[in-house]
Amino acid sequence: MIVAVIPARGGSKRIKNKNIRPFAGKPLISYSLTAAQQAAIFDDIIVSTDSDDIAEVARDHGATCIIKRSPTLSDDYTGTTPVVRDAIEQYEKLSGSKVTYVCCIYATAPFLSSDALLAGYHQLTQAPAAKFAFSVTSYAFPIQRAIKIVGEGVEPVSPENMGARSQDLDECYHDAGQFYWGTKRAWLDQAGMFKAHSCPVVIPRYLVQDIDTHEDWIRAELMYRAYIKDNKND
């Protein structure tokens, strides 16, 4: 069995009801559910939540299984891996089926595409030693030439790189926060995401935006509307 797990708790502090708040006219979580459906690879699309409201919206937009998350997994400090592990274990008990591959999809990924999900699956299954495959994107500016504010002035983080040309520095990437494919065993064993056994799936920067604050939300909606408008004009 190949399943998607979408963690979506109801206690968002900075943006109230973030996971089901209307984003460009539809609940934010619906974009992740739609991408999972369009990938046509998942036997079930699971939403792990502590919220009845989120569960209802998720069912209306394509979730095929709702896992009720316990309060101990719904606080501000619990990471993604324990939630995915819990979803796998509960799902196998409820369904009587054995899971082989799991894709954790964030509920806050309106730019996620089915093509990216399929690319991640193929990378994971075609690399013999791979345990995970997840979305990454490049930094827009060389991080080796970053500066930090100290008092009323600034200091370079890496003084030795300040005079280097961009083309002479290694391109660096960061987690794009969209999806995380893994084998069931890797999730259950907490094998670690940011290691050599993980395959990067590179997403263009114009399709990546964290949504943690109101400023993030406004920027993401502007990006999304511009992207959709541009695609319609092609």
- Beta-sheet strands, E only, within 78-141: 101-105, 132-138
Give the dihedral sign, CA 204/210/214/215: negative
Percent of all residues in the chain with a pLDDT value above 70, rounded to a whole number: 98
What average pLDDT is seen over the chain?
Answer: 94
Write down the pLDDT at residue 50.
Answer: 93
Return the CA Rg of the chain: 19
Domain parsing of the chain, residue ranges: 2-135+176-233
Q: From CA 24, how far away is CA 26, in angstroms rounded?
A: 6
Read off the pLDDT of residues 38-56 as tens digits, 9 standing for 90 and up. Answer: 999 999 999 999 999 999 9
pTM reported for the whole predicted model: 0.94
pLDDT over 70 at 232, yes or no: no
3-state class of 216 per DSSP? Answer: helix
Q: How is residue 69 annotated by DSSP?
A: P
The 44-49 sheet, strands edge to edge: 65-68, 44-49, 2-7, 101-105, 173-183, 132-138, 198-202
- In CATH, what is the architecture of 2-135+176-233? Alpha-Beta Complex (3.90)
φ, ψ for residue 74, nearest 5 deg = -120, 15
